[in-house]
């Protein structure tokens, strides 16, 4: 193995390579484009493209692709080779600036939510120079944004970049108020913790539900699940360790800062966390991480499950988004700092985040909504579907003191004046082990814990950046006009706390009592995806996103349609898969075992001896009554899926799947699980939970 520092980023066309391979003036021009988002001249692009190609070809690469993130949630690419015919039956390897900067994939088969009529199939991809090109599977990948021909965003990168721009613009206004003239840019930084399951390929291949839907649609509880809590941070099995090692190496080569790896709570569950970086790069890197997790698993004869809830009754997988804002001069704006003046700025930024979450709680909820994540949120393993903020004791006490105009008494029992010039000192709250909060302050950043493991992190980052930008802009509007900055700043902080403290909750979010309390506080409790999504198309949402140029109104509507469609299509595929597995596998198991029972019973009966047939009779009777339920519920589910065809409106269809199809699936699943627990393994046609979870 190469030494790590040499290996790190070896497949990335990064700053070091650029500096080495580009003429000075070209390098400078490119850097300017990267940092300021300025236009790239064609002649510059030509030189860059050529250097990229030479670098890639030296590494054995023959193709390039524009790598983008359409609304499918996975990344897409169409590989093109570098060859150009020379006219004498030979080829040379060429890569022009215009090919680097812009691509025109046929966009007609990507979800657009009605944005792009298929007759206008052209979409285009545009290079995002702020994210480095890299080599993956022998292809030079160029990170790009994906838009329709009329300029509507069809991907997750474009709005993320726009939201970062909005945040930058408004945050700089806040910094200037505090006399900070050095910072030229403010960026959001993100570190996503990624959970996943590993199972053996041989058992995976016998479960059509895992293959088609990513989760098990039935499975009786194994005798041992996660109740011993012996897996969390436990010793990593050699096979998993080898996988993690290779995954780390692959990620390092791509410049991904893979840092921590450990076992998670559920059996067969693990986590990987990188060191945080700029939101946009973090999003690209997280997509790459998920892709590599699957590819590397396959090389080890395993399958990596990224579904939010692959197994019922066992923890699902989430993705925690650690989010902060920082200046280009390296100052983390959510760091409380130690000097009072910095504290005043910090407190203003902190209350801005609090207000943003309170004002736009529904939108953050929307960003974590999917059919799969509905199985997790509120299920006593992930935060509830109610948005609240955990601040910890110390910060809460400070805010209380400011709100009531009282002094804040710190740990040394010194009384302190509250005022912009003498705000209290405080230390990082290192006590945060409240895992039940959806949005927790963890010392110098917030951790958003609602996201499911297979989401792109772009969604919540778009929302966070935009809602915080909005509050910054409201604050700046007030303070820029102020004649007495200190006084008005104090008032603003105080009134913001007063008006928005309902969103702060430091208690246990898993308790029922919290749900009631949240209702008393008037907080939204959008239990399912279908309940949550309409908030995305509300007037308030449209006003917010259009004001900050993050989404146009038609982009919002198209995304809303895509999300609804995604929801009901997911449930539909699950229902059809469940029906199919019952018809092809479960019924066969039930009949074979029943046959055997009846056989034994009949044989016993034909004996002249007086023998007990109790067991056979009991089993025949329970299995018979379960099988009659099975056939009834199967019919119910089939009919309900059929009926869905009568709906044409996306929201109505989604509601129907939530209210009718899902309950039918649950009913049916319960019967199958009961049957599974009665039927001997030699008759059961599918690997059990025990087998799946202990397969590696």
**478 vs 496: CA distance, rounded Å:** 13
| Pairing status of strand 277-278 against strand 186-200 | antiparallel
**What SS3 state is found at 104?**
coil
**67 vs 79: CA distance, rounded Å:** 9
Site track 131-170 with ligand ADP (rule: CB under 6 A), x = hit: ----------------------------------------
- How many residues of this chain bind ligand ADP (CB under 6 A)? 16
For residue 191, the partner it binds in Mg ion, ligand ADP, none, with Cβ less than 5 to 8 A by kind, is: ligand ADP
- Segment 417 to 446, residues that bind ligand ADP, using CB under 6 A: 444-445
Counting contacts by CB under 6 A, is residue 191 touching ligand ADP? yes
**654 vs 661: CA distance, rounded Å:** 10
Q: Say what angle helices 485-500 and 340-359 make with each other, to 10 degrees.
A: 40
For residue 27, the partner it binds in Mg ion, ligand ADP, none, with Cβ less than 5 to 8 A by kind, is: none
Q: Closer CB to ligand ADP, residue 395 or residue 562?
A: 395
- Region from 231-239, 274-282, 357-365, 453-461 binding ligand ADP, contact rule CB under 6 A: 274-282
Q: Shortest distance, CB of residue 392 to ligand ADP, whole angstroms?
A: 14
- Radius of gyration over every alpha carbon of the chain, rounded to an integer in angstroms: 28
Counting contacts by CB under 6 A, is residue 275 touching ligand ADP? yes
Q: Shortest distance, CB of residue 261 to Mg ion, whole angstroms?
A: 14
- Region from 243-251, 268-276, 627-635, 644-652 binding ligand ADP, contact rule CB under 6 A: 268-276
Residues in a beta bridge with 321: 192, 448
Q: Shortest distance, CB of residue 320 to Mg ion, whole angstroms?
A: 4
Q: Shortest distance, CB of residue 589 to ligand ADP, whole angstroms?
A: 42
**551 vs 153: CA distance, rounded Å:** 8
Residue of 125, 322, 456, 473 that binds ligand ADP (CB under 6 A) = 322
* Cα separations in angstroms, 493 against 177, 363, 497, 670: 14, 24, 6, 52
Counting contacts by CB under 6 A, is residue 193 touching ligand ADP? yes
**577 vs 635: CA distance, rounded Å:** 14
Residue 440: φ, ψ to 5° = -115, 135
Q: Shortest distance, CB of residue 260 to Mg ion, whole angstroms?
A: 10
Residue nearest to ligand ADP (CB): 191
Residue of 139, 172, 190, 571 that binds ligand ADP (CB under 6 A) = 190
Counting contacts by CB under 6 A, is residue 392 touching ligand ADP? no
Counting contacts by CB under 6 A, is residue 627 touching ligand ADP? no
Q: Closer CB to ligand ADP, residue 44 or residue 279?
A: 279
CA 214 from centre of chain: 15
Site track 331-370 with ligand ADP (rule: CB under 6 A), x = hit: -x--------------------------------------
Cα-based torsion angle of the residue sequence 248, 249, 250, 251 in order, rounded to the nearest 10 degrees: 50
Q: Closer CB to ligand ADP, residue 441 or residue 657?
A: 441
| Pairing status of strand 408-409 against strand 269-274 | unpaired
Q: Closer CB to ligand ADP, residue 260 or residue 632?
A: 260
| Pairing status of strand 12-13 against strand 133-136 | antiparallel
Task: Count how many residues are written for the chain.
Answer: 696
Q: Closer CB to ligand ADP, residue 128 or residue 193?
A: 193
Structure tokens at 539: 């007037």
**Which residue spans within 332-483 are E strands per DSSP?**
389-390, 408-409, 415-416, 439-441, 446-448
Counting contacts by CB under 6 A, is residue 189 touching ligand ADP? yes
| Chain contacts with Mg ion (rule: CB under 5 A) | 193, 320
Which residue shows structure tokens 């509880």?
A: 221
List residues binding ligand ADP (CB under 6 A): 189-191, 193, 260, 273-276, 322-324, 332, 444-445, 447
């Amino acid at each position: 193995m190469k030494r790590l520092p040499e290996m790190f980023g070896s497949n990335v066309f990064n700053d070091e390579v650029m500096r080495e391979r580009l003429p000075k003036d070209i390098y400078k021009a490119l850097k300017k484009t990267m940092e300021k988002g300025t236009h790239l001249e064609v002649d510059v692009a030509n030189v860059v493209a050529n250097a990229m190609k030479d670098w890639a070809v030296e590494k054995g690469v023959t193709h390039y692709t524009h790598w983008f993130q359409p609304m499918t949630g996975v990344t897409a690419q169409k590989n093109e080779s570098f060859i150009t015919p020379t006219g004498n039956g030979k080829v040379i390897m060429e890569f022009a600036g215009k090919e680097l900067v812009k691509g025109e994939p046929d966009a007609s088969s990507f979800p657009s939510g009605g944005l792009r009529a298929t007759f206008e199939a052209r979409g285009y991809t545009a290079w995002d120079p702020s994210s480095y090109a890299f080599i993956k599977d022998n292809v030079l990948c160029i990170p790009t944004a994906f838009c329709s021909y009329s300029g509507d965003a069809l991907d997750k990168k474009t709005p993320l970049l726009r939201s970062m721009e909005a945040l930058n613009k408004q945050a700089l206004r806040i910094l200037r108020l505090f006399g900070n003239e050095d910072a030229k840019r403010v960026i959001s930084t993100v570190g996503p913790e990624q959970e996943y399951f590993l199972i053996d390929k041989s058992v995976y291949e016998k479960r059509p539900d895992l293959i088609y839907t990513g989760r098990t649609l039935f499975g009786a509880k194994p005798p041992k699940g996660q109740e011993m809590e012996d897996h969390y941070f436990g010793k990593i099995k050699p096979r998993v360790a080898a996988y993690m090692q290779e995954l780390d190496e692959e990620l390092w080569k791509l410049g991904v800062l893979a840092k921590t790896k450990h076992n998670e709570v559920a059996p067969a569950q693990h986590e990987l966390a990188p060191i945080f970086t700029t939101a946009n790069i973090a999003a690209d890197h997280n997509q790459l991480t998920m892709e590599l997790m699957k590819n590397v698993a396959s090389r080890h004869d395993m399958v990596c499950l990224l579904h939010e809830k692959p197994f019922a009754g066992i923890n699902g997988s989430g993705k925690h988004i650690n989010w902060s804002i920082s200046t280009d001069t390296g100052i983390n704006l959510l760091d409380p700092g130690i000097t009072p003046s910095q504290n005043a700025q910090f407190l203003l930024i902190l209350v801005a985040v609090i207000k943003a979450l309170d004002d736009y709680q529904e939108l953050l909820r929307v960003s974590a909504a999917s059919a799969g994540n509905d199985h997790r949120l509120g299920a006593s393993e992930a935060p509830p579907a109610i948005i609240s903020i955990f601040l910890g004791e110390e910060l809460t006490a400070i805010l209380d003191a400011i709100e009531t105009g009282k002094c804040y008494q710190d740990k040394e029992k010194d009384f302190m004046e509250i005022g912009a010039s003498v705000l209290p000192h405080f230390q990082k709250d290192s006590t945060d082990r409240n895992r039940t909060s959806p949005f927790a302050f963890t010392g110098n950043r917030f951790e958003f814990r609602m996201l499911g493991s297979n989401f792109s992190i772009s969604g919540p980052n778009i929302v966070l950046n935009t809602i915080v930008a909005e509050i910054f802009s409201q604050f700046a509007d007030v303070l820029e006009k102020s004649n007495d900055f200190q006084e008005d700043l104090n008032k603003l902080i105080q009134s913001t706390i007063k008006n928005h403290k309902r969103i702060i909750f430091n208690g246990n979010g898993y308790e029922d009592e919290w749900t009631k309390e949240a209702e008393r506080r008037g907080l939204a409790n959008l239990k399912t995806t279908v309940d949550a999504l309409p908030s995305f198309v509300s007037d308030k949402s449209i006003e917010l996103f259009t004001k900050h140029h993050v989404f146009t109104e038609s982009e919002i509507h198209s995304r809303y349609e895509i999300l609804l469609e995604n929801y009901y299509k997911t449930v539909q595929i699950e229902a059809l898969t469940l029906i199919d597995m019952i018809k092809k596998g479960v019924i066969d198991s039930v009949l074979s075992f029943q046959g055997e029972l009846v056989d034994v019973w009949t044989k016993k009966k034909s004996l002249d001896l007086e023998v007990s047939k109790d067991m056979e009779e009991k089993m025949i009777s329970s299995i018979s009554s379960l099988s009659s339920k099975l056939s009834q519920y199967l019919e119910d589910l089939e009919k309900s899926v059929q009926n869905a065809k009568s709906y044409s409106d996306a929201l109505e269809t989604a509601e129907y799947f939530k209210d009718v199809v899902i309950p039918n699936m649950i009913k049916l699943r319960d019967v199958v699980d009961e049957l599974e627990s009665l039927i001997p393994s030699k008759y059961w046609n599918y690997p059990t939970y025990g087998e799946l979870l202990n397969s590696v």
